[in-house]
Amino acid sequence: MGKSTSLERNVKRAPGVYGWIDERLDLTAITEFACAKEVPEHKHSFWYYWGGISLFLFLTQLVSGVLLLLYFRPGADSYDSVRQITYDIDFGWLIRSAHSWSANLMVLAIFIHMFSVFFMKAYRKPREFGWWSGLVLAGLTLVFGFSGYLLPMDDLAFFATKVGLEIPRTIPVVGPFLVSLIQGGDSVSDVTIQRFFALHVVVLPLIFIGVLAFHLWLVQKHGNALPPDEELKPESERRSIPFFPNFFTKDLAMWLITLNVLAVLASLYPWQLGPQAEPASPAPDGIHPEWYFMSQFQVLKVFGKLMPGALGEAAGIIVFTVAGVMWTLIPLYDKDSARAVQARRATWFGLVVLGAFIALTIWGYADI
Amino acid sequence: MKKDSNKVKPEKADGPGGATMGRRGFVKAGIGAMSVCYVGAVAYPVYRYLAAPAKRAEETAKISQIALPMDKLPPAGTALTFMFGSRPALLIHLADGTKVCLDAVCTHLGCTVKFETDLQRIHCACHGGVYDARTGKNVSGPPPKPLKPYKVEFANGQINISRA
């Protein structure tokens, strides 16, 4: 909060309706602020756009999700209602396809954003909470993906959810109890759809929007982070551009490109609907999770082969947990980059995680 | 570089009707046209998606005739409410044996009206509108217009009801 707002400063205002509103809501202060804000420009600037792209895809999800809500009926009717949306309602296939594709693109954009933040060491003081709130948003996005995947209740959705729920089941002591609570009974059923639906359209969006507001407030508060090699340069050699209109226009251009990519994917590769889930029939051949769960799936599979039974599963889950905790706590133990030195150890850690993620995903697809 | 941009700047193209449009104007118009295309490309499918049920209802409402089985005919002095397409309608069997079919949507504010067997009249519970059961004429209360009549015919053991 500034000491004197432009309401008090007797600023000269535009005539007409805009001026009338401006006099009361002080829009001038917002534009003044946006024009004064600067965004650093350097050879890694491209990566600054990925948070905005993730945000745009989230907004697309909100709009297309509300549209799907108009015809979707959770519970016993869910398969039939998704069939109607896909085949009966005008352009229903496009809205559903856009929602599915945008979900996948959103996960991809968030991963790119996360890794670029990691490699630019943007998690350093004072931005630790930006890193943590971002990880919470990424986690929520994966839960969004998992819960939304069940809702059409075709055979893939049914078995993917069954397999996915096997992971929390391996938690010692409380696992089986937790899973029966999540799915509402001893198997995936209409009750599970109803629960996942409530989670997907009410609980997750509420939490997500709250955490997102915190995340964006922090970005605003701290500004864009400089990567270490840029920080080593003397002040006079650093360059920056005004947020408004320069960065804003580029941001908008990125959003348009994203919209074009989404439109092409959604219309040329429409999302399919499989046969209705039938608990008595066997799992379809080649069933596998969505690409963003593929690496975890593959780790479990490999450990399961090396160490048969519950031991392998436990070992796989321990590997994830340790990697996840190390990933989360990086701002606390990466002391090199805190001193504005290029932290090579952190970079190597990031490269190993990224490499393992990509390799395991490819391996997973090759192994189907 | 600088020389180049100086050369381009004053250049003006003659638009239709002798009006001139500078480079800035051209870019502005181009961006405007592109925005309209984008908004249209998003809004059109969304509109069609939203309008799909209304379109279907319109098709249902288009029917001009329906047939009811003979056993649906209510006993003398009573009435049957049924759906004519997407609108409720009243088939009234008056005490004297006359059969009348009327639209059952109140002309005041759209409530569904009811045939009162004791008074042999049509009454709307929402605001107390009353219609004559024989003609559909609005006789008291707020309704501004009479209820529209349908044509009733008996043939082949069926009750054929059609738009008058």
Give strand pairing partners of B103: B89
Q: Which helix (H) or strand (E) holds B127?
A: none
- Check if the beta carbon of residue A124 is closer than 8 Å to that of residue A225: yes
- Nearest-CA distance B47 → chain A (Å): 9
Q: Which of B10, B29, B61 is the last residue of a domain?
A: B61
User: Taking residues B15-32, what's their average pLDDT?
Assistant: 80
Which residues from A are below 8 Å from B52, CB to CB? 88-90, 92
- Identify whether residues B77 and B47 lie together within a single domain: no
- Identify whether residues B42 and B13 lie together within a single domain: yes
The strand ranges marked E within B34-146 are 65-69, 78-84, 87-93, 99-103, 114-116, 121-123, 130-131, 138-140
- Identify whether residues A365 and A296 lie together within a single domain: yes
Q: Could you list the mean pLDDT of each consecutive 10-residue stretch along chain A, which spans 368 residues?
A: 55 83 89 88 93 97 98 95 96 97 98 96 93 98 96 92 85 88 92 96 98 96 89 88 90 96 97 90 83 89 82 83 93 76 83 94 90
- Identify whether residues B87 and B145 lie together within a single domain: yes
Angle at A193 between CA A191 and CA A196, to 5 degrees: 110
- Domain of residue B97: give its range: 65-163
Identify whether A113 is part of a domain. Answer: yes
Bridge pairing between strands B158-163 and B149-155: antiparallel
- Identify whether residues A96 and A206 lie together within a single domain: yes
pLDDT at B15 over 50: no
Which residues from A are below 8 Å from B50, CB to CB? 67, 70
Share of chain B above pLDDT 70, in %: 88
Q: Which of B18, B40, B61 is the last residue of a domain?
A: B61
- Identify whether residues A197 and A273 lie together within a single domain: yes
- Identify whether residues B102 and B31 lie together within a single domain: no
Domain of A93, CATH number, reads 1.20.810.10
- Nearest-CA distance A89 → chain B (Å): 6
Q: How far apart are CA A222 and CA A27, in angstroms?
A: 23
Say whether B38 and A259 touch across the interface (CB within 8 A). yes
Identify whether A236 is part of a domain. Answer: no
Name residue A274's amino acid.
G
Is residue A328 classed as helix, strand or coil in its secondary structure? helix
Give residue A131's pLDDT.
97
- Identify whether residues B69 and B85 lie together within a single domain: yes
Identify whether A232 is part of a domain. Answer: no
Give residue A343's pLDDT.
76
Looking at the structure of chain B, the number of domains it has is 2
Give residue A282's pLDDT.
87
- Identify whether residues A52 and A156 lie together within a single domain: yes
- Identify whether residues B141 and B114 lie together within a single domain: yes
- Identify whether residues B84 and B138 lie together within a single domain: yes
The string of pLDDT tens digits covering residues B99-117 is: 999 999 999 999 999 999 9
User: Taking residues B56-83, what's their average pLDDT?
Assistant: 91
Angle at A166 between CA A160 and CA A169, to 5 degrees: 150
* Tokens 């051209």 sit on residue: B26
Query: Which A residues, 234 through 263, put their C-beta within 8 Å of a C-beta on chain B?
Result: 256, 259, 263
- Identify whether residues A298 and A268 lie together within a single domain: no
Domain of B80, CATH number, reads 2.102.10.10
- From the list A88, A91, A259, the residue facing B45 with the nearest CB is A91
Angle at A304 between CA A301 and CA A307, to 5 degrees: 150
- Nearest-CA distance A36 → chain B (Å): 25
Identify whether A230 is part of a domain. Answer: no
Identify whether A228 is part of a domain. Answer: no
Looking at the structure of chain A, the number of domains it has is 3
- Identify whether residues B15 and B73 lie together within a single domain: no
- Identify whether residues A102 and A206 lie together within a single domain: yes
Give residue A341's pLDDT.
66
Instruction: Kindly list the strands in the beta sheet with B78-84, ordered across the sheet, starting from the edge strand earlier in the chain.
Output: B65-69, B158-163, B149-155, B99-103, B87-93, B78-84
Which residues from B are below 8 Å from A259, CB to CB? 38
Identify whether A31 is part of a domain. Answer: yes
Say whether B49 and A91 touch across the interface (CB within 8 A). yes
- Identify whether residues A327 and A197 lie together within a single domain: no
- Identify whether residues A163 and A193 lie together within a single domain: yes
Residue A44 token pair: 């890694």
Mutation for B interface: A91, A256, A261, most B CBs within 10 A:
A91
- Identify whether residues A135 and A206 lie together within a single domain: yes
Q: How far is CA A242 from CA A127, A230, A249, A250, in A?
A: 22, 18, 11, 11
Identify whether A250 is part of a domain. Answer: yes
Per-residue pLDDT band at B12 (split at 50, 70, 90): very low
- Identify whether residues B55 and B33 lie together within a single domain: yes
- Identify whether residues A179 and A84 lie together within a single domain: yes
Say whether B49 and A67 touch across the interface (CB within 8 A). yes
pTM strictly above 0.80: yes
- Identify whether residues B110 and B147 lie together within a single domain: yes
- Identify whether residues A172 and A219 lie together within a single domain: yes
Share of chain B above pLDDT 90, in %: 76
- Identify whether residues B17 and B41 lie together within a single domain: yes
pLDDT at B158 over 50: yes
- Check if the beta carbon of residue A336 is closer than 8 Å to that of residue A344: yes
Give the DSSP per-residue string, A152-216.
T-BHHHHHHHHHHHHHHHTSTTTHHHHHHHHHTSSS--HHHHHHHHHIIIIIHHHHHHHHHHHHH
Give residue A1's pLDDT.
43
Burial A5-21 (b: 16+ CB within 10 A, else e): ebeeeeeebeeeeeeee
Residue A116 token pair: 């670029």
Q: Which of B42, B61, B80 is the last residue of a domain?
A: B61
Nearest residue in chain B measured CA to CA from A93: B49
Say whether B46 and A67 touch across the interface (CB within 8 A). yes
- Identify whether residues A90 and A210 lie together within a single domain: yes
Say whether A67 and B41 touch across the interface (CB within 8 A). no
Cβ-based burial of B30 (10 A; exposed 0-12, middle 13-18, buried ≥19): exposed
- From the list B38, B41, B52, the residue facing A89 with the nearest CB is B52
Identify whether A229 is part of a domain. Answer: no
- Domain of residue A357: give its range: 288-368
* Residue A120: CB atoms within 10 Å: 20
- Identify whether residues B23 and B51 lie together within a single domain: yes
Per-residue pLDDT band at B76 (split at 50, 70, 90): very high
- Nearest-CA distance B48 → chain A (Å): 6
Q: How far apart are CA A302 and CA A295, in angstroms?
A: 10
Say whether A90 and B49 touch across the interface (CB within 8 A). yes
